[in-house]
Amino acid sequence: MFAIPGKPPVTLTPAAVAQIAALMAREGAAGFRIGVKKGGCAGMEYTMEVAAEAGPMDIVVEDGPARVLIAPMAQMFLLGTEIDYEVGLLESGFKFRNPNVTESCGCGESVKFRDMTDAG
C-alpha cells in the first residue's frame, strides 16, 4: 500500500463530498472507486465508478457521507491529490489536482505522471 501514516492519500473538497455522497445514495453504493489506466494522448486516464463494495486491497478514504475507494494500481499515482467537483456553464465534472502529474493533454482527459522511480 502507498500511504503516509496519519494522512489520507487524497483529499476531497466540499463539492466533491456532496457529489460523491449523492452518487452513492442514488446507486446504493458502498463507495466511489477511483483508479488510473493507460490511455489518452498523454498516456494515462483517471477512472471512476460507483462500487458495491470495497476491494481487499483498496485504500478507503471517508469524508463525511462520501467514501472513496482507491484501486491498488492507482495508489502511488494519487498520493497528495485533491479531488474537486466543478459545475460550469458548458460542463460539470470531477477535477483532480494531482502533484504527481507532469503533463496533461489539451482536452484535459489524460495525464502523464512523473516517473515514480524519481520520487523521493
CATH number, domain containing residue 104: 2.60.300.12
- The yes-or-no verdict on residue 41 having pLDDT over 80 is no
Is 26 part of any domain? yes
- The yes-or-no verdict on residue 111 having pLDDT over 70 is no
Is 40 part of any domain? yes
Cα distance between residue 100 and residue 24, in whole Å: 27
Is 110 part of any domain? yes
Beta-carbon count within 10 A of 90 CB: 4
62-77 burial, b at 16+ Cβ within 10 Å, e below that, comes to ebeebbbbbbeebbbb
**What is the count of structural domains for the chain?**
1
Output DSSP code: residue 98: -
Is 119 part of any domain? no
Residue 113 has a pLDDT of 63
Q: Which domain holds residue 96?
A: 10-114
User: For the segment 2-36, what is each residue's pLDDT rounded down to a tens digit?
Assistant: 556 667 899 999 999 999 999 999 999 999 999 98
Is 2 part of any domain? no
Is 1 part of any domain? no
How are strands ordered across the β-sheet holding 92-97? Answer: 10-12, 81-87, 92-97
Is 4 part of any domain? no
Is 3 part of any domain? no
